[in-house]
Amino acid sequence: MVEVFRTNVTLTKDAGLLIDILQGTFHGSRVNFDLDDCDKILRMESPFSVSPSDIVMLLHGMGFEAETLPEEPADEVMEITS
């Protein structure tokens, strides 16, 4: 499972704290932030299913905003016939 969120996290120390909490709560997960992105992206990859609303609620409980970003559409394949 991979989930991507838009957040309002701006400080590296806050991102580090949230990474520790998320990885402690959802064992085996890989979590990172891209604070240089305009959406302050949180990306979480987990070997098991995690409800995005659980992640959003956890961040809200810590005083941060988060919302799930929609999946980007897959590149369309053009069929060429001759």
Structural domain contains residue 34: yes
pLDDT band of residue 1 (cuts 50, 70, 90) is confident
Q: What pTM was computed for the model?
A: 0.83
Structural domain contains residue 78: no
What CATH number has the domain bearing residue 47?
Answer: 3.30.70.100
Q: What is the predicted pLDDT for the residue at 76?
A: 53
Element (H, E) at 58: helix 52-61
> Amino acid identity, residue 9?
V
Q: Are 42 and 64 in contact (CB under 8 A)?
A: no
Q: pLDDT for 34-80, tens place per residue?
A: 999 999 999 999 999 999 999 999 999 999 999 999 876 555 555 56
Domain that holds residue 35: 2-68
Q: Are 24 and 16 in contact (CB under 8 A)?
A: no
Task: Answer whether residue 32 shows pLDDT above 60.
Answer: yes
Domain total in the chain = 1
What is the per-residue burial (b if ≥16 Cβ within 10 Å, else e) of 5-43? bebebeeeebbeebbeebeeebeebebebeeeeeebbbe
Q: What is the predicted pLDDT for the residue at 82?
A: 52
